[in-house]
Chain A
């Protein structure tokens, strides 16, 4: 059975070039990068080459890159690494749980947190950030692109505000990396997190940019790895994969592949909306990363729709991949003022580097009739449309 994967914001397949780059580092060049002998020197060199590639994607020096186990660890390291008891933090209501739950824990240890609301498009207003500043504000943490809607935040303006107020600025760029150019200098951010598995590198590896001179307390102790900012034996194959994926991501901005992805996304979105009424895009009116569209189909249950689509071979999701299995309306859509019913009727389509025109055709054959069939079964839909 044909299977098409449009859930690349949950995780992406590792690209063959990336796996190929990694493969020698499992059984052949397997040394511990901290070992001083030949086997260690060999993998140390590979780790440092990968670090250069990541730094080059983000526009920083390689000494400013801390290699981590992923986006969640990076967000935690940034937040717990900078904030101390009594500090104030500014974040937004649409952050990933890695940021939101870290902030919640800060609140348990005598820190204050302000949650900036977003508008109907899912955007943070930089003036709200400015107004939230307090004398004890230590950190502003606002994501670069949202995982559910793809909406891009005004990070440059927020960075400017942070710089003027002399507070740290962290941005979760997990969903931005490889999709929009990132330059830590022009954003004036001090800390920025990315995750390998959202950009066609493997799961279990990520990176944190830490601006030179930023004093960051570690999350783990046990050795002077990563300039004492992250202890633990380096995940050499994963890091090599991240480096390769970073190179490919950078190429994507010049070889037309990002525009191609945007064209595919736009075609999918437009065609679905043209065929179906009572549907629209969450985050409409804001600039969005090129691979994501979050569409609501009123009167249907999103969970039922994703299951129906999966049965026919199309993998999509209702929003964030969720570890608890709880079916609550998305906190992101809710924060945008979307009603609970509409939030439950929303689907996220997220493309990756490997998706093709042909797969968009496949989705277009499936989605409208499946939505229509589910609506036929919906008493509410029939009542409302009959009374219209």
Chain B
């Protein structure tokens, strides 16, 4: 330990260094991740030199771009055990969720009008479902147990002969809890129901395999796995048709029109290739740091609670509630640490997280919760700094309020 810890909760101005640490420390890798330098390097030629439109069939600029896209498609497919033609490129996770859910609902109209999802899904899934409800689709929102996991019997019980789609996330963006995907997939497969999973938070962190996990549709986003923002992918099992939500030139087998974002796609492909090679090693690294952070905080503070199952959880995620402190004051005190008190998408509003509420937390505890998202580029010194900071700030806030 080289860094010294100030005995004050005054906030530190951003972008300052303390010892060898650059502040603020970024521990919000579930909101977004920096682009890996290897990814950026792979992308750069495609902006200014190999800049062709892959739909240009009449010259080399187009062919080179098309080739790059096909390489990326293979890299994505390899990571999730799919075949390249089953991979569609999108503008991100939100579009992917919308396409998979609305696209499957519209395409499956003749077979039924019932969808099953879970209350802890990302807004992209929940709001897609809510929109479908305004169009007459019935949606069942399954509850979760205290640990964030669904009860499989409840899923089975919710299925009707009008059910066309089950959409359950691979892992949760706030608490990192991994759902029993293999079992969910098996139930859906047995009943002939399409299974979609939002894997934005699992890709590159936990094993995702569309074959062994019986997944029909899967969406994810580049910027959560050290790829760029503005690109994502949807896996569509061969034989499954989605009704497009964007019409036009008929790109991506007619399911997603629009000129392909070649540099973004190349970046996503590279990010997947890196994940294929390094995921297991990286998972040890981030899980180790996560456990170190947890053990240090829990070892020094009482009244701290872990939200969500520790057994079924992606490696880099820790979500803690701190009793007897004010959530806002806590975040302000931690201003030299970039963390989130909820999903980034909803953090503009000061409402207790609906995910934490679904676990049964009180408003107060939900409000005084922090999500720590540890990623590829975090260091042990950063983790120790954050642990010390948290312990210090929480202790001081509790003293003040005595």
Contacts and interface: CB of A to CB of B under 8 A. Distances in A.
Interface of A: 3, 5, 7, 10-16, 19, 22, 26-28, 30-32, 34-40, 69-73, 75-76, 96-98, 101-102, 104-105, 195, 197, 202-205, 219-225, 231-238, 303, 306-307, 309-310, 315-318, 320-325
Contacts of A7: 53, 56, 58-59, 61-62
A5 B131 CA distance: 44
Interface in B203-225: 221, 223
26 contacts: A3-B61, A7-B62, A19-B44, A19-B47, A32-B31, A40-B31, A40-B344, A69-B91, A70-B259, A72-B248, A72-B258, A101-B249, A105-B247, A197-B259, A220-B245, A221-B124, A232-B94, A232-B124, A238-B264, A307-B58, A310-B58, A321-B249, A322-B249, A323-B257, A324-B249, A324-B250
A316 B53 CA distance: 12
A69 to B, nearest CB: 4
Contacts of A317: 56, 58-59
B94 A233 contact: yes
A223 B345 contact: yes
Interface of B: 14-15, 24, 26, 28, 31-37, 40, 43-44, 47-49, 51-53, 55-62, 91-95, 97-98, 122-128, 130-131, 221, 223, 228-231, 245-251, 257-264, 335, 338-340, 344-348
Contacts of B128: 221-222
A223 B229 contact: no
B248 A233 contact: no
- Specify the main secondary structure of chain A where it touches its partner: loop
B31 A38 contact: no
A190 B209 CA distance: 46
Nearest to A320: B249
B59 A306 contact: yes
B55 A323 contact: yes
Contact of A11 (B53, B258, B340): B53
Nearest to A306: B58
A102 B51 CA distance: 27
Contacts of B49: 13
A101 B248 contact: yes
Nearest to A38: B14
A222 B123 contact: yes
A324 B259 CA distance: 12
A39 B94 contact: no
Contact of B51 (A11, A36, A204): A11
A223 B123 CA distance: 6
A303 B58 contact: yes
B257 A221 contact: no
A321 B56 contact: yes
Contacts of A31: 28, 31-32, 338
